[in-house]
Amino acid sequence: MNNLPKAPCVGENLVWYPHGDTNQSPFAATVVQRFSDQSVTICTLSPTGKRDVWLNVKHVNHPDHETAPEGVRRWGAWDLIGQYEEKISIEEHDREVKRELARVEAEKSMSIDTDVISDPDEDEMRIIKFSREMGDVPGRAQLVAGKIGAEMTHQRVNAVLRRFPHLLNGELPEELLGAGK
């Protein structure tokens, strides 16, 4: 029990977890009586504005919660202010680290066929040319699909435009100038 924080004094604020569940957002609470360094009576303020008094509330890491869980389920558990925010901050940091590791792993395993990216077929080149002529207008994919006809869909046009964004602006490479007439 030496690693548990000392309970705040009467009048000090802390956070309270209903049923001791630290996976939920805590409630604001004030110490109204201090029984010992670990046990306090608190007055909680719920988000709805309701005030409740809870007797003999112990710290969230108190060993009694393992041996006698009915107490924590009935009275909840307290923690110092800032511990919840620190826990959330650590969890966010861990998520960011995992996300970055996943991105690095994805980049390692990603392979790009540069021939496919830089070499559109005849239909794709026709879509690119019509899109370049129209410019960046609302509903461009639908307009291009209608202009080409032959059951061309705006989804297909959008897929081509996402695949070859580098060909929508600037000069076209010489090898592509004759394609898609």
Convert the pLDDT of each residue in 113-160 to its tens digit: 555 556 778 888 888 888 888 888 888 999 999 888 888 899 999 998
The answer on 119 and 60 residing in a single domain is no
Q: Which of 30, 63, 81 finishes a domain?
A: 81
Phi and psi at 94, nearest 5°, equal: -60, -40
Give the closest residue to 134 by CA, choosing from 116, 174, 166, 161: 161
First to last CA, the chain: 81
Residue 31 belongs to a domain: yes
Structural domain count of the chain: 2
The answer on 73 and 124 residing in a single domain is no
Reading the block at residue 161, the tokens are 């435009």
The answer on 17 and 77 residing in a single domain is yes
Q: Quote the pLDDT of residue 58.
A: 92
Residue 176 belongs to a domain: no
Residue 61 belongs to a domain: yes
